[in-house]
Amino acid sequence: MNLLTTESQRHREIENEQDPRTAPIIGAAIEVHRQLGPGLLESAYDEVIVELKSVERILPVHEAQLLTYLRLSGKTVGLLINFNVPLLTRGIIRRVL
């Protein structure tokens, strides 16, 4: 029996079942969030995140931008991650084309 002890381990197992393409990304984001904490300035997360925008909250325009990026890049899955939450898994928005 595999006892999972951290949020990132539990989420990684669930995520692998749902979409193995995003599991490593979300796992890494959870580890960054766990180490640095929520609500820091953009520059604190900038070193470890692929594309980063600092906004007060995620708005519909951000989801629209993500969908546009997906269409233009030919990718099928995108993530918006809000680091200003106590539990990062509650700040993840997944969009699939």
CA pair distance 14, 18, nearest whole angstrom = 6
Is 59 part of any domain? yes
User: Tell me, what amino acid is at 39?
Assistant: G
Identify which of 49, 57, 66, 51 has the alpha carbon closest to the alpha carbon of residue 84: 57
pTM for the structure as a whole: 0.68
CA distances from 9 to 4, 44, 50 (A): 6, 23, 21
Is 1 part of any domain? no
User: Tell me, what amino acid is at 4?
Assistant: L
Please count the structural domains in the chain: 1
Is 51 part of any domain? yes
Is 2 part of any domain? no
pLDDT tens digits, one per residue of 2-41: 444 566 666 666 766 777 788 888 888 888 888 888 877 7
Query: Range of 71's domain?
Result: 7-96
pLDDT tens digits, one per residue of 32-73: 888 888 877 777 776 666 677 777 788 999 999 999 989 988
